[in-house]
Chain A
Amino acid sequence: MDASSSEATLIQQAQQGDAKAFGQLYERYADRVYRYLAFRLRDAMEAEDLTAETFIRVLQHLPHYRPHGTPWGAWLFRIAHNVLIDHWRHSTRHQPLALENGATVENGTAARALHHVLTRADLERGIAQLTDLQQQAITLRFIAGCSIAETAYVMQRSEQAVKDLQHKALIALRKSLER
């Protein structure tokens, strides 16, 4: 049984009320959902709450999910995205993410190609300069690890539009970091 068919089985079992199967789906996706929410919210505890809210909402909508329609990951991240939007509608407070300002990201070949090592704070500041759509694309693609197809579904845009956004966002981020 490959990964996608075993996932399809888990989804089917969860739809029939199997709590254990739903638990396994949670274990598979919790990290990615949390990363997406934490990066956009910049508040670890709020991200924790909204991660729970996302999975509870997934549970509520599970009977309506059609396995042969939207891919599971895309469907789940669309729910996480909606939870985030709802949260922002009801909240006026935005706080910076509690990351260690001096912490650096790994200094590998990739970093050398950029000619200098960036701190997380540099990246956060740079990403904050991007348009909201560019931020969404970057966060879904590189923080949440969504594919182009998943990102396109979550953002309700074409795959080509997401590739364009991704390209423009990286160029804009690079320029912003070089300033």
Chain B
Amino acid sequence: MKPQDILQECLERLEQGESLETVLARYPTQRDELAPLVALATQVRQAAPSFNESAKSRVRYQVYGAARVRAVPRAHPAWQTWLARVASSVLMVMVLGASALVATAESAPGKPLFPARALFNEARAQRIADPRAALELHLQNAEERLEDVRIRYQRHQLNEAAIFWMVGATENLMVTVENHPYVLDHALLARIRRLILTERALLRDLIKNAPVERARRNAETLYQLSATWEPLLNRGLGR
């Protein structure tokens, strides 16, 4: 019998509940070679990271959500639309005043006038009747909001409102995805997936590095909300 087969036999016996001494006693001639390897395997097992309860319940929420949307079409949860509704009401008021800013150089992500232009574009997206065009504009808005947050974060100029607006823009996008899944194609899908991935990574980073506890908690709440985006996307594709 080869040493690697003997080692495996020892490990199996340990897994079945035999004590180390009993297992090693079965192989007296190989004992000296086997003992440290079996011991090491046991130590590696004990070094396994644990899945803490709060992390497990966050993942459970995502996975169960995905399983439910696959099984039964569901009503749109209230929390998913509140950001969109609030944004929509505010945006309508801002439209006229902001329209003059659209083309200025100072309205790119990270620039002082960006929030006003973003509000204008978000209001415009809400009023577009063609679902494909609306989805594309929502996606562009969400990408710009994300870019704005990323730039501000790098410059240490990030404020919580910018983070809320970023998540709100992606929420608007996902509501459109859910209502009009048939307009998705592979190119849009890839962009949305990339957006979700990057935005969630940024939120994770904020959770880790937020300067104050309140900001960390807010980022954590938004991170949890963002957990349903991927399942929504999958449902949109009918998977």
Contact = CB atoms under 8 A, between A and B. Distances in A.
Interface string B34-69: 011111111111111111000110111011101110
B178 interface: no
B200 interface: yes
A131 B4 CA distance: 18
A39 B63 CA distance: 21
A111 B39 contact: yes
A59 interface: yes
Given A19-B71, A113-B38, A114-B40, A53 B230 contact: yes
Contacts of B97: none
Contacts of A115: 36
12 contacts: A17-B70, A17-B72, A19-B70, A26-B63, A31-B51, A52-B62, A55-B59, A60-B239, A167-B3, A170-B7, A170-B40, A170-B41
Contacts of A38: 49, 51
Nearest to B204: A45
B21 interface: yes
A46 B200 CA distance: 10
Interface residues of A, number: 61
Interface of B: 3-5, 7-8, 19-21, 35-51, 55-56, 58-60, 62-64, 66-68, 70-72, 197, 200, 204, 207-208, 227, 230-231, 234, 239
Contacts of A49: 200, 204
- Which of B5, B71, B72, B208 is packed against the most chain A CB atoms within 10 Å? B71
B41 A142 contact: yes
A149 to B, nearest CB: 11
- Which of B5, B67, B71 is packed against the most chain A CB atoms within 10 Å? B67
Interface of A: 14, 17-19, 22-23, 26, 30-31, 34-35, 38-39, 44-49, 51-53, 55-56, 59-60, 90, 97, 99, 105-106, 108-115, 118, 120, 123-124, 127, 138, 141-143, 145, 148, 160, 163-164, 166-168, 170-171, 173-174, 177
Contact of B44 (A17, A143, A163): A143
A56 B228 CA distance: 11
Given A45-B204, A45-B207, 17 more contacts: A17-B70, A19-B64, A26-B64, A26-B67, A39-B49, A47-B49, A49-B204, A52-B62, A99-B49, A109-B20, A118-B43, A141-B41, A142-B45, A143-B45, A164-B4, A167-B4, A174-B40
Contacts of B41: 141-142, 170
Contacts of B48: 35, 39, 142-143
A111 B43 contact: yes
Contact of A56 (B4, B20, B45, B62): B62
